[in-house]
Chain A
Amino acid sequence: MRNIWIICRKELGSYFVSPVAYILLTMFGLIFGYFFWNALAAFLVESIQMQMRGQSFPMNLNEWIIRPLLANVSVVNLFFVPLITMRLFAEEKRNGTIELLATSPIRDGEIIFGKWLAALLLYVCLLLFTAANFAFLFRYGNPDWKPLLVGYLGLLLQAGALLAIGTFISTTTKNQIIAGAVTFGVCLLLFVFGWVSGYDTSTWAQVLSYLSIATHSESFYRGVIDSKDAIYYVTVIFLGLFFTARSMESLRWRS
């Protein structure tokens, strides 16, 4: 436990002493902000039009703003996750510092979990940074906060799963760019797997759709915690970290 925290602290430190964390925070904040105000503007225009037509407008901010916004952000995750994870192991291998970690009295699992945890905490920082937008919504509107929290939990679980995949891919190379590119490709594929269910209803398509990282977050964005979906994400996280451990082991045996 102590060792996990030591590794995690060190990783967070290196995110925050370099400009990496600040650049990610700024970009994520800008993109999120753009989506937020876009959704808000669309909502306002719609509500004014409906009132002019004399229809009563269902003033549900959750349904109209938060849900589409979070769905958009899960696409943004695809771009940010590789940026967060690509350095985790690739950099250590390139600099030779992996020799220090691997010859210290600390288990591989502790190194891996510590690094993944640091990546996840950085992602939490990104999410917290976006909370300012909602402060505005709560000030002038009356959204339900519980679905919002559940939606954020969904984003976090999804990011956790993608981060675990990225952590695994980072162990396979010394080259950060390769790690980042492959992670992006794999995340994107996992994301679009869900699309097949739109035109195909075979078992095959259902399996692919189940595997998709995107299909499991919809319930969360609606404000519902579906244990099946939560289990899916936790399983992906576990598998990702498990394969990371196997990868670290096999690297030693091979090289």
Chain B
Amino acid sequence: MIKVKDLTKRYARTIAVDHISFEVDKGQIVGFLGPNGAGKTTTMRILTCFLPPSSGTATVAGFDVLEQPMEVKKRIGYLPETPPLYLEMETGDYLRFVGKLKGLSGADLDKRIDYVTGRCSVADVKNKLLGKLSKGYRQRVGLAQAIIHNPDVLVLDEPTAGLDPKQINETRDLIKDLAGDHTIILSTHILPEVEQTCEQVIIINKGKLVATDSVRNLQARARGAESVVLEVAGRKAAVEPSMVQRKLEQISGVSRVVCKQQLDGRAQFEVESQKGFIRGDLARAVVDSGWDLNELRPSAMSLEEVFLQLTGSELKPIEAEPVKEPV
């Protein structure tokens, strides 16, 4: 649905986006992640035909942003970083205006206005001046205008900025709901948001692509190997951690065993392995040695750690894996 190839955007002095390539499939939610000044907004502005790229290409639904901007614009709903509101208009009038701009009219327009005001919970401020709305409500109206024409592609620049926790959850649910028919690309600094809403993450830093992958793969990839946490307890007496450690290290494929903590005769280990799937071997080794296996789970590194690691200065960029071919 979205194809970006070697996209570069140069401002007078800075290179805001530096040879970025990625693809997004139809119906996917993609999180665009990066620290301040990474180039997220710039990339989104290029995708929405607000800015032309300096070099490289971007296509949305098969249409090039430079060659056929009208076709692209018809198919995109865009929520910029600051919601583009006319402060002297009332919410309802504003949505009507945007709807008309996007080519809606008549009963269709009325229906869509009703739908989006309900969907984004702005029905109660329909007759209020936009200038008098709170930040969160402005953000919601911004989201409402982005989806008013039921676009194929939604580009949301920090959609949950300034919302209260309840509204953040509702917005996330809304975004997840909208995926499926819509392809969504959203930018954020908030990592849990990506973990909860997105299937795929694109991480950029200082204009360069750092990684693009699914959330789960990224977590694994950042570690460079599979890693599991297991807790072992003694049957009768307390376990001797060093004995368990030695035992575990003998299993083929295990590269590193660390005893993380020890409590009331139980011990928790983190085991890293090179080989793909060693959890069965680990379990058998523990039980065969006469210990109890209390817990065995993949240790999920939080995306936050992944993110910091990936955008950290000393870490080399990870080679990006090609994403699935889009429809």
Contacts and interface: CB of A to CB of B under 8 A. Distances in A.
Nearest to A111: B101
A252 B50 contact: yes
A199 interface: no
Nearest to B80: A99
A104 B73 CA distance: 6
Contacts of B87: 95
Contact of A255 (B48, B51, B76, B98): B51
A203 interface: no
A141 interface: no
A107 B70 CA distance: 8
5 contacts: A97-B85, A100-B98, A105-B70, A105-B102, A253-B52
Contacts of A253: 52
Nearest to B73: A105
A14 B88 contact: yes
B49 A13 contact: no
B86 interface: yes
Interface size on B, as a range, is 20 to 34
B103 A105 contact: yes
* Chain B interface, >50% SS class: loop
Contacts of B102: 104-105
Interface of A: 3, 6, 10, 13-14, 17-18, 95-107, 252-255
B35 to A, nearest CB: 22
A13 B101 contact: no
A114 to B, nearest CB: 11
Interface string B62-90: 00000000100110101011111111110
Nearest to B75: A105
A103 B76 contact: yes
Interface string B99-126: 0111100000000000000000000000
A98 B87 CA distance: 13
Nearest to A251: B51
Nearest to A14: B88
A102 B12 CA distance: 22
A102 B50 contact: yes
Nearest to A249: B52
A103 B82 contact: no
A6 B84 contact: no
B273 to A, nearest CB: 49
A97 B52 contact: no
